[in-house]
Amino acid sequence: MRSSHSFHLFSSLALWRRSVSSSDRSYAVFIWAVSAVFLLLSGCGRSHQPVDKPVLAVSIEPLRYFVEQIAGDRYRVVSVVPVGFSPETYEPAPEQLLAVSEAKLYFKVGQLGFETTWLNRICENNPHLLLVDTSDSLDASTGNAHAQLLDPHTWTSCRNAEQISRCVCAALCRLDSLGRDTYQERLQQLVKNIHQTDRQVRQLLQNLRYRTFVTAHPAYTYFALEYGLKQLSIERNGKEPAPGELADFVRQCRQEDVKVILVQPEFNKESARVLAKEMGAEVKDVQPLNYDWHQEMLKVATLLKTAGEQASGVLNSRLDDDK
């Protein structure tokens, strides 16, 4: 911006020097300089003036993804729990609570530890805040009702993702009826993308030989339900297993041919590495709290597929050596 204004200032000065007599120049310089500085400052002010948008709040980044896909640029969406922190134990910073206090709607997952601990306080600071529980939209007939007692990570299923998206759209249409057509149009595109993700995941898992996997924390219950897989979690009821339970767990994993352990960054990987060595599996990083929901779904499916293919390759090699 400075270079553009400098060009106009020098151009104006050149024109002035040709048109004003030498006796009048001292006064004219003063008037011209004051005017130019005023225009320069006022122009800079306009270019940096923030454009305020109404605020929507969500608990986690995957929910921000769904809300932003539907809301578009009509709202600013703020997420309370950052990536890399556990939504079970997270305590929001004062500036996050301040941002949420400006929100029109708050979209919650349902039963996250953070939500049960902090949402009452958040609502006390913003009595006009409208809460939308996206888990209310889930179909109990698909096993979601039982799964919610074990795992609040509802968004790790494409079927759930579509229902959550429809819930978000309905809430925005109630809040802002003028934007109804826009929200519904964006919902249709998002649903198409979710269906495409589902097809890609199913293709990756189509011929999966080893269908049991281990997680440090039960984050993929819905993913396993949807794609005919079995999830075994190291952590049970929020606690790591006792030594005797751990031996039984390793034995079960061996019996079920577990080839991969999926670990989130907020959990200690050391116990996962010890277990992986005992059962002949690999430890892989996953991030169910990632904003890019589509990529994370494909990443999990790809990790399961790759681990299975590598294990099958080792097994086939051993069989060939035995011949």
For residue 12, what are the domain limits?
2-47
pLDDT of amino acid 19: 45
36 located within any domain:
yes
Position 316 pLDDT exceeds 50? no
State which of 179, 203, 227 marks the end of a domain.
203
63 located within any domain:
yes
Question: Facing residues of 232 across strands?
Answer: 214
Position 312 pLDDT exceeds 60? yes
Position 148 pLDDT exceeds 60? no
Q: Do 254 and 144 share a structural domain?
A: no
* Whole-number percent of the chain with pLDDT over 90: 49
322 located within any domain:
no
Q: Do 163 and 24 share a structural domain?
A: no
Q: ∠ CA 125-97-85 to the nearest 5 degrees?
A: 140
Q: Do 198 and 59 share a structural domain?
A: yes
Q: Do 63 and 190 share a structural domain?
A: yes
Q: Do 217 and 177 share a structural domain?
A: no
The residue among 304 and 147 whose pLDDT is bigger is: 304
Q: Do 210 and 199 share a structural domain?
A: no
Backbone angles phi, psi at 235, to 5 degrees: -80, 135
pLDDT of amino acid 85: 85
State which of 47, 63, 82 marks the end of a domain.
47
The residue among 44 and 214 whose pLDDT is bigger is: 214
The secondary element (H helix, E strand) that includes residue 279 is helix 270-279
Q: Do 286 and 252 share a structural domain?
A: yes
Residue 158 sits in a domain of what CATH number? 3.40.50.1980
Position 111 pLDDT exceeds 60? yes
| Residues near 23 by beta carbon (within 8 Å), at least 6 away in sequence | none
Query: Smallest Cα–Cα separation from 77: which of 117, 48, 97, 106?
Result: 106
Question: Facing residues of 132 across strands?
Answer: 107
320 located within any domain:
no
| Residues near 293 by beta carbon (within 8 Å), at least 6 away in sequence | 62, 65, 66, 155, 161, 197
| Residues near 85 by beta carbon (within 8 Å), at least 6 away in sequence | 266
Question: Residue 21: pLDDT band by 50, 70, 90 thresholds?
Answer: very low
Residue 213 DSSP SS3: strand
Q: Do 213 and 197 share a structural domain?
A: no
Q: Do 12 and 41 share a structural domain?
A: yes
323 located within any domain:
no
Q: What is the pTM of this model?
A: 0.78
Q: Do 300 and 277 share a structural domain?
A: yes
Number of domains, the chain: 3
Q: pLDDT digit string (tens) for 51-62?
A: 588 999 999 999
214 located within any domain:
yes
253 located within any domain:
yes
Highest mean pLDDT pick, 116-130, 148-162, 183-197: 183-197
Backbone angles phi, psi at 284, to 5 degrees: -130, 140
244 located within any domain:
yes
Q: Do 196 and 75 share a structural domain?
A: yes
Q: Do 43 and 62 share a structural domain?
A: no
Position 315 pLDDT exceeds 50? no
Position 68 pLDDT exceeds 90? yes
State which of 185, 203, 221 marks the end of a domain.
203
pLDDT of amino acid 149: 53
The residue among 243 and 70 whose pLDDT is bigger is: 70
pLDDT of amino acid 142: 52
